[in-house]
Chains A and B, each alone.
Chain A
Amino acid sequence: MSGSTGQKLGGETAQAVVDTAAPSTEVASKSPMQLAAGRLRKDKLTLVSLVVVLLFVLAAITAPLAVHFGWIDPLKSALNLTDEFGRPKDKWGGMSMDHPLGIEPGTGRDTMARLWSGVAFSLFIALSATMIAMVLGVVLGIVSGAAGGWIDAIIGRVIDLTLAFPLTLMLLALASTGLIMVEKYLHTPKGNPTAAVYVIVVLGLFGWTGIARIVRGQVLSLREREFVHASTMMGASKFRLYFREILPNLWAPILVTFTLMMPAFVSAEAALAYLGVGVNAPTPTLGNILNESISYADVVPTFFFIPGFTIAAIVVSFNLLGDGIRDALDPKGHQ
């Protein structure tokens, strides 16, 4: 649910870009990029969220290195740190110099190590799903807008059909079938790679509709522009033309949608983990970590709140960044 609505929020806010981002490309004296960058520099909130986003990205990139060099080990148990009921012996969820964020009840695994790698896994899943959705959406959007006619109509209906499927329900109900199909057709190794690919592919397959509509709208409005007319007269192939000439003009809505889709997919991964779909334990994803913590919510509260707030921090910072970028691209906009 928070998955689908997450996307919806991304889609809605991004749709506002349709009518606002396009005009900004018309400004002649300074490049729109420079203008936007100038505005961004003055927007402190967006700059802060940019820093936070970069920190999370940095954490994601460094996590495999940290594991590789043995700085952290998200899978190492420490059963001597828990009491006979599995609770951490130390106060505050087992926080200590060795375990600054405490330990996992039952196994004694280090929460910081698990969160650090969890951020990497979750962002990787979100990024991959976003890429699939973006590529699909941009290509189908351009084709739809450029070709018009029955191709446009069919793509429109496919979008309607995709939107009509209850996403969470499909992900849940299809999991066992889906895993087998992924394994069979994509030849992924069994186990977690397959599970990850399944989640990524399904999120991507259901997530492309918003950007496709935006791109289609952009194409329709750009189609009337002079440079397109000019190229057509020079005899360029129609589709090559659209991809080469129009794509560069679409970067603004793509960037904004991208920034807003990432957090939606991070939430979606967490929601799916709660329903038991997704990457298997012991691999830490933010969803897995949070899901494991809920039965300890009142017994070891820190273990419950820390992953929850981490997810929230990622979602908020990406959303603020996306909003900021959009505002910067469109100063006259709604905000």
Chain B
Amino acid sequence: MWAYAARRIVIGVMLLLALSLVTFVLFFASPADQARHACGKQCTDEQIAVTEKALGYDKPVLVQWGTFVKGMVTGREFPADPELKKTHPEFITTCDRPCLGYSKTNGVTVNSLIGEAAPISISLAVVAVVIWLVFGVILGIIAAVTKGTIMDRGIVGLTLIIYAFPTFFIGVFFLKFVVVKWGLLSYPQYLSIAEGGVGGWLTNLFLPAFTLALVYLASYVRMTRAFVLESLGEDYIRTARSKGLNSRTVLFKHALRAALTPLVTMTGIDFAGLLGGAIITEQVFAYNGIGKLTVDSANAWDLPTIIGIVVLAGSFVILANIIVDICYALIDPRVRLG
């Protein structure tokens, strides 16, 4: 078991390295002259060269990548300028490990940028997961037990139709009609629990989280429905039924339990994906989460931030997969052979 876990983790780390390398190589082909962009309007070529050196963009891509990886392990200092550190130590920003880089555009470390944005994305993800799980599982069960009726078709069909609308269409619809035109809800603006209490936090999160949950709802309804139906068809359930257990007990005690493992797995992986930021939802609702940070840094061509987010988002996904695999291995030792 430990050997298996160790192997999965080693592979995960290697994947992460590959991910960051690919990202560096892709962005190094950038046509935008970052140094000129940063230096300003009247900069001469020499001044641009000074800026380029200060930003570290003069070094080959592999060296930049190596520095990045080293920073992940040991931390870094910005600017990496020993001369300046000697004369003006108070100018140096230290970036503790795992250091994701330094955003010149923002004048802070990528870690602190992400640290500021993360609570918003996490809040959004948590509330969205709760909404889609609650609605998804309940509707899925209803659809399964009413299989073939109008109710079943209605649930499956309606969630599919909602899924079919682009997320930004639904988000804009909520904002422009539900909020502005009809005034049914107040305009959502992120409040942390510290600022607005749990109530304020939740009220403001509801609309964006609901928009986000609608994207996932259809697949969770279908999944729940399918697993419940499948397990209802299994032999042991039939046995349980034939022994005279009432159908509610069978449903909740046996069928649901069987459906739980795959549901939890999927939720874990989807949740991990959302931690990397819900780009469109955050953009529509102007929530300064990681998704919004992504869009902003892509627009400002803030390379260190983009790379930091890619690596972070990728590591969430990789980590979630490792956890899921190891959990499976714990539950079912046969998996390890595969």
The interface residues of chain A lying within 8 Å CB-to-CB of B215 are: 1-2, 5
**Nearest Cβ on chain A to B282's Cβ, whole angstroms:** 9
Report if A166-B313 is in contact (Cβ < 8 Å); known contacts: A5-B216, A9-B218: yes
Complex Cα distance A45/B274, Å?
Answer: 34
The interface residues of chain A lying within 8 Å CB-to-CB of B295 are: 172, 275
**Nearest Cβ on chain A to B171's Cβ, whole angstroms:** 9
Complex Cα distance A313/B278, Å?
Answer: 24
The interface residues of chain A lying within 8 Å CB-to-CB of B252 are: none
Interface set, chain B 124-170, CB cutoff 8 A to A: 160-161, 163-169
Given B167, B230, B314, which contacts A1 in the complex, CB threshold below 8 Å? B167
Whether a CB of chain B sits under 8 angstroms from the CB of A274 is yes
**Nearest Cβ on chain A to B160's Cβ, whole angstroms:** 6
Report if A294-B172 is in contact (Cβ < 8 Å); known contacts: A2-B167, A12-B223, A170-B310: yes
The interface residues of chain B lying within 8 Å CB-to-CB of A274 are: 166, 168, 280, 283
The interface residues of chain A lying within 8 Å CB-to-CB of B176 are: 297-298
The interface residues of chain A lying within 8 Å CB-to-CB of B161 are: 312, 316
**Nearest Cβ on chain B to A287's Cβ, whole angstroms:** 8
State how many residues of chain A have any CB contact under 8 Å with chain B.
50
Question: Closest chain B residue to A184 by CB distance?
Answer: B29
Q: Are A271 and B280 in contact (CB under 8 A)?
A: yes
Whether a CB of chain B sits under 8 angstroms from the CB of A8 is yes
Q: Are B298 and A173 in contact (CB under 8 A)?
A: yes
Given A16, A287, A308, which contacts B165 in the complex, CB threshold below 8 Å? A308
Q: Mark B160-198, 1 if CB is under 8 A from A, else 0.
A: 110111111100110011001100000000000000000
Question: Closest chain A residue to B170 by CB distance?
Answer: A308
Q: Which of B22, B169, B291 is packed against the most chain A CB atoms within 10 Å?
A: B169
**Nearest Cβ on chain A to B212's Cβ, whole angstroms:** 8
Question: Closest chain B residue to A172 by CB distance?
Answer: B298
Q: Are A1 and B30 in contact (CB under 8 A)?
A: no
The interface residues of chain B lying within 8 Å CB-to-CB of A313 are: 164
Q: Mark B308-326, 1 if CB is under 8 A from A, else 0.
A: 0110011101100100000
Q: Mark A291-335, 1 if CB is under 8 A from B, else 0.
A: 000100110000010001001111110011000000000000011
Complex Cα distance A168/B291, Å?
Answer: 10
Given A4, A169, A287, which contacts B310 in the complex, CB threshold below 8 Å? A169
The interface residues of chain A lying within 8 Å CB-to-CB of B297 are: 173
Q: Are B19 and A165 in contact (CB under 8 A)?
A: yes
Report if A319-B318 is in contact (Cβ < 8 Å); known contacts: A2-B166, A5-B215, A308-B165: no
**Nearest Cβ on chain A to B16's Cβ, whole angstroms:** 8
Interface set, chain A 1-42, CB cutoff 8 A to B: 1-2, 4-5, 8-9, 12-13, 16
The interface residues of chain B lying within 8 Å CB-to-CB of A316 are: 160-161, 164
Complex Cα distance A160/B281, Å?
Answer: 26
Q: Are A297 and B31 in contact (CB under 8 A)?
A: no
Question: Closest chain A residue to B303 by CB distance?
Answer: A173
The interface residues of chain B lying within 8 Å CB-to-CB of A176 are: 30-32, 301
Whether a CB of chain A sits under 8 angstroms from the CB of B18 is yes
Given B18, B160, B165, which contacts A311 in the complex, CB threshold below 8 Å? B165
Decide if the interface of chain A is mainly helix, strand, loop or mixed.
Answer: helix
Whether a CB of chain A sits under 8 angstroms from the CB of B219 is yes
Report if A177-B30 is in contact (Cβ < 8 Å); known contacts: A169-B276, A275-B295: yes
Whether a CB of chain B sits under 8 angstroms from the CB of A164 is yes
The interface residues of chain A lying within 8 Å CB-to-CB of B216 are: 5
Q: Mark B276-301, 1 if CB is under 8 A from A, else 0.
A: 11111101000000010011011001
Whether a CB of chain B sits under 8 angstroms from the CB of A263 is yes
Q: Mark A150-185, 1 if CB is under 8 A from B, else 0.
A: 000000010011011110111011111100110000
Complex Cα distance A191/B286, Å?
Answer: 31
Whether a CB of chain A sits under 8 angstroms from the CB of B222 is yes
Complex Cα distance A161/B314, Å?
Answer: 8
Complex Cα distance A330/B163, Å?
Answer: 25
Report if A315-B314 is in contact (Cβ < 8 Å); known contacts: A9-B219, A334-B226: no
Whether a CB of chain A sits under 8 angstroms from the CB of B229 is yes
Q: Mark B71-103, 1 if CB is under 8 A from A, else 0.
A: 000000000000000000000000000000000
Q: Are B172 and A319 in contact (CB under 8 A)?
A: no
**Nearest Cβ on chain A to B43's Cβ, whole angstroms:** 21
Report if A166-B30 is in contact (Cβ < 8 Å); known contacts: A1-B280, A1-B281: no
Interface set, chain B 190-226, CB cutoff 8 A to A: 212, 215-216, 218-219, 222-223, 225-226
Q: Are A164 and B283 in contact (CB under 8 A)?
A: no
Q: Are A172 and B164 in contact (CB under 8 A)?
A: no
The interface residues of chain A lying within 8 Å CB-to-CB of B26 are: 174, 177
Interface set, chain B 1-33, CB cutoff 8 A to A: 11, 14-15, 18-19, 22, 26-27, 29-32
The interface residues of chain B lying within 8 Å CB-to-CB of A8 are: 219, 270
Whether a CB of chain B sits under 8 angstroms from the CB of A290 is yes
Q: Which of B22, B219, B266 is packed against the most chain A CB atoms within 10 Å?
A: B219
Q: Are A298 and B219 in contact (CB under 8 A)?
A: no
Complex Cα distance A312/B73, Å?
Answer: 47
Q: Are A165 and B27 in contact (CB under 8 A)?
A: no
Given A166, A181, A270, A297, which contacts B276 in the complex, CB threshold below 8 Å? A166
Known: A164-B15, A173-B298, A174-B27. 7 other contacts (CB 8 A): A8-B270, A160-B318, A164-B315, A165-B314, A169-B309, A172-B298, A334-B230
Name 20 A/B residue pairs within 8 A (Cβ), A-sorted: A1-B278, A13-B219, A16-B226, A163-B317, A165-B22, A165-B314, A166-B317, A168-B279, A169-B294, A169-B298, A175-B298, A176-B30, A271-B280, A290-B166, A290-B169, A297-B173, A312-B161, A312-B164, A316-B164, A334-B225
Closest 7 interchain pairs by CB?
A315-B164, A334-B226, A312-B164, A164-B314, A297-B176, A166-B313, A173-B298
Q: Which residues of B contact A (CB under 8 A)?
A: 11, 14-15, 18-19, 22, 26-27, 29-32, 160-161, 163-169, 172-173, 176-177, 180-181, 212, 215-216, 218-219, 222-223, 225-226, 229-230, 266, 270, 273, 276-281, 283, 291, 294-295, 297-298, 301, 306, 309-310, 313-315, 317-318, 321
